[in-house]
């Protein structure tokens, strides 16, 4: 449970317009979909996908770091790492198990013969959308455990798109349709409170000192 008194204390350091901005953005945040990325080698692609999640309202991004170490490219992420929850995993199986425990179906993005076209994708189910590496695509491990396959219809000579472009197209499409639907896709009250607290922390300089001072005062 979120510490409401601590939240109120921290929000006292924020402007009214900042607090209103948080509430407005949280109204459009969702955990109905989550995104997962498998061992993406090019760092800017991870950062760009994170930015797309933030812009289009997906709250969680799952990153598998089985082969390549990761760091956030702040120039491309444009601060998105402050507002999107990043879940990191050492193995793909750990990532799959985690999203399944949260009630998501596994959707693999691939030009698989049985893939569903993007505009036909059923948005009613909670889904974890998996994207693969730049060259090899998704591993067989994901393909074998996928509940469904998804692809972007293309009519040119090129058979694939850059991962960050593919992710942006898919995320924009499914989130736009979600907001126009009657599905209960929004964050619940507790999730909103938790994000308000985290975002307040991420907005305040010298947060460690302020946090220490708060707890010292209430325990005095």
Per the DSSP assignment, residues forming a β-bridge with 87 are: 62
Helices (H), 3-105: 4-11, 16-26, 43-56, 74-77, 92-101
Q: Rounded mean pLDDT of 17-39? A: 95
Fold of 30-205: Alpha/beta knot (3.40.1280)
Side-by-side strand order, sheet with 60-64: 85-89, 60-64, 33-38, 127-131, 105-109, 148-151, 116-117
**What does the alpha-carbon distance between residue 100 and residue 96 come to, in Å, rounded to a whole number?**
6
Q: Rounded mean pLDDT of 20-42? A: 91
With CA atoms as reference, report the closest residue to 171 among 44, 22, 30.
30
**What does the alpha-carbon distance between residue 207 and residue 200 come to, in Å, rounded to a whole number?**
9
pLDDT band at residue 80 under the 50/70/90 scheme: confident
pLDDT band at residue 111 under the 50/70/90 scheme: confident
- Residue-wise pLDDT for 183-209, tens only, equals 999 999 999 999 999 999 999 999 999
């Amino acid at each position: 449970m979120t510490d409401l008194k601590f939240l109120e204390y921290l929000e006292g350091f924020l402007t009214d317009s900042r607090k209103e901005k948080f509430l407005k953005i949280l109204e459009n945040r969702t955990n109905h979909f989550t995104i997962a990325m498998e061992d993406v080698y090019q760092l800017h692609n991870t950062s760009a996908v994170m930015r797309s999640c933030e812009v289009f309202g997906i709250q969680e991004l799952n990153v598998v770091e089985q082969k390549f170490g990761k760091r956030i490219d702040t120039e491309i992420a444009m601060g998105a790492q402050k507002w999107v929850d990043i879940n990191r995993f050492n193995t793909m199986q750990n990532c799959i198990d985690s999203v399944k425990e949260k009630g998501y179906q596994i959707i693999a993005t691939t030009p698989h013969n049985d893939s569903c076209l993007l505009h036909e994708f059923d948005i009613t189910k909670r889904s974890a959308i998996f994207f693969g590496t730049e060259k090899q695509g998704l591993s067989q491990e994901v393909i074998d455990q996928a509940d469904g396959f998804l692809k972007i219809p293309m009519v040119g000579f090129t058979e694939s798109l850059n991962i960050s472009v593919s992710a942006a197209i898919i995320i924009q499409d499914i989130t736009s349709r979600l907001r126009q639907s009657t599905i209960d896709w929004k964050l619940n009250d507790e999730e909103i409170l938790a994000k308000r607290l985290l975002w307040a922390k991420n907005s305040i300089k010298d947060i460690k000192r302020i946090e220490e001072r708060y707890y010292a005062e209430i325990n005095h």
